[in-house]
Amino acid sequence: MNLEQLKEAMAEALAKAKAIDDGAKASETELTDEQVSKMTQYLDEAEGHKAQIEKLEAAMQVSQRLADLEEAPKPKSVKAQNIHPSFISEVKELSDEDPKGGYKSPKYFMLDVLHAGKTGQVRPKLKRFQDNDFQATAGSDEQGGYSDPYGGFLVPEAFAPGILMVNPEMDAFGARTTKVPMTASTVTFNARVDKDHSDSVTGGLRVYRRSEADEVSASRTEYEQVSLVANPLMGVAYATKEIMQDSPVSFAAILEQGFDAETTSKLMDERINGTGVGEYEGMLTSPALIEVAKETGQDADTIVYNNIIKMRARVWGYQNAIWIANQDVIPQLPLLNLSVGTGGVPVWMPSAREDLPDTILGRPVIFTEYAQTLGDKGDLICANPTQYLEGERTGTTFESSIHVRWVQAEEAFRSYTRNDGKCWWREALTPKNSTTTLSPFVTLAERA
C-alpha cells in the first residue's frame, strides 16, 4: 500500500474501534469481552499502519534529501569574452536532447520514479518522459514485477491482518431487561393476579369502613405461575485440517467470533418477535401487548403526532421506557410536531452529542433492523424492558472436537447456550378509574 492507502486504512481501523466504544457509552453499558477483543484488534491494526506510515515518510525524506544534494548545480568558471554571440541563440536545455533526460546517472532517475510512486508527485525531469509516453516503451529488456515471467512471480503477496466485515448491531437494550440466574432447567415464579384495579390492587383483597360491631366481607387474593424453560441455542460448523493448518488467520477464532455475533443477533430478534414456543416470547407476542390503532383517515405507511401521544398514554412505567424503531421510521420522525401558534414543539429530538441517543418525548430511541418495516405492526414500539424476564441456564460456550469427522480429517466446532425470556405480565392492567388499559409493551398497529 502507498502512503495514502495506509493513512486511509489506519483511519478506518480507528473509526471501527471508536464506534464500538461510542455504542457502549450510548447504551450506558460496560464493554463486553467480545467488544474489548474487537477494539484491541482494530487498535493493533491502526498501530501497525502507523508504523508503516512513519517508515515510509522517513524513507521519502531521505530519498528527497539525496536527490536534492546530488542534483544541486555545480558552478563553472566561464569567461564571457570566450563565448561567441552567435552561439548563445543556439543554446538549448540539456534535457531536450540528452538521452538521459538531464539525469546524471540512472540512480537519480530511479529515485524520482520511486518518489512518484509513493507520493503521486512527478518531478519536472521525470514528467518529460511521462509526456513523451515513456511508459509505453518500457518493458522490452528489463526485469520487472509488471510481468510474471520476468520477475512478477518473485514478488510475494501479503494479507492485511483481520477480515473485512459488516459489524452486526450491538445489543442496545438487552442490558435493560431483568436478568434471572437459572439454577435449574425450569424456573417458576409465583405471581399475583393483580392487573385489574377496578375493585382491588392486590388481586382480590379488600378493606372496608365499618361501624362498631359490624361485620365485613372476607376477601382473598389470587395467584398464578410464570415459568422460564431453558431452551438450547446451538450452532455447528466444520473445518478441514488443511484450512486449520494453512490459514494465516486463526480459523477457530473466526468461527467463534461469528457464532458470538449470530447468538447476539438471534436473541435481539427473539426479544421483539419470538413466538414463545421453544424460544423467547417476544414483546410483540406477549399477551400483555397493547396495539394502538391508526388514526381515522391516516395514510398508509405513516406515523403521525397522535400515534405517539396515544402510545405514550398506554405505557406502564414510562420512566423506565425506551422506544424501539426500524430505520425506515426515521424520515417520519422530523414531521412529528405539536403545533403551537405559528411554531411547534418537536416530539423527536435528535442527539447533539456522540454519547447520547435520540429521544422521543424524553425517552431514548433505539433503531434496530429487528423491528418491523414502516407501516407494519411493530415498526415502532414503546417498551419498559424491566418487566421482561431473561433467564440464562448456561453461558455461551465454544467447543471443538476432532472426533466427529475424524475420517474426513475435519474438526467440528459448536456454539451452545441455554436460556429463555418473556414478559411476566399475562394481561394488561386496568386502572381503577379508567377503561384505558396500560402495559409495559405498546406498539402501533398496522397502517396498510
Give the pTM: 0.66
Residues 150 and 252 in one domain: no
Going by pLDDT thresholds of 50, 70 and 90, the confidence category of residue 293 is very high
227 in a structural domain? no
The average confidence (pLDDT) of the chain is 85
If asked whether residues 284 and 140 sit together in one domain, one would say: no
Question: Is residue 374 situated within a structural domain?
Answer: yes
Structural domain contains residue 35: yes
Residue 375, pLDDT above cutoff 90: yes
Tell me, yes or no, whether 198 lies in a domain.
no
Kind of pairing between the strands at 441-444 and 290-292: parallel
Count of Cβ atoms closer than 10 Å to residue 396 Cβ = 19
Query: How far apart (Å, rounded) are the C-alpha atoms in residues 189 and 168?
Result: 34
- Count of domains for the chain: 2
Domain span at residue 254? 178-185+234-444
Q: Give the model's confidence band at 53: pLDDT under 50 very low, under 70 low, under 90 confident, else very high.
A: confident
Q: Per mean pLDDT, which range of 3-12, 138-147, 155-164, 372-381 is the poorest? A: 138-147
Asked whether the predicted pLDDT for residue 31 surpasses 90, the reply is no
Q: Confidence class of residue 120 from pLDDT cuts 50, 70 and 90? A: low
- In contact, 256 and 223? CB cutoff 8 Å: no
Considering the domain architecture, whether residues 114 and 260 belong to the same structural domain is answered as: no
| Final residue belonging to a domain, choices 106, 138, 154 | 154
Q: Is residue 24 part of a domain?
A: yes
**Do 244 and 130 share a structural domain?**
no
| Within a domain: 92 | yes
Classify residue 259: in a domain, yes or no: yes
Does residue 128 have a pLDDT over 80?
A: no
For the chain, give the percent of residues with pLDDT over 70: 87
**Does some domain include residue 204?**
no
Which pLDDT belongs to residue 266? 96
**278: pLDDT strictly greater than 90:** yes
Q: In this model, does residue 172 exceed pLDDT 70?
A: yes
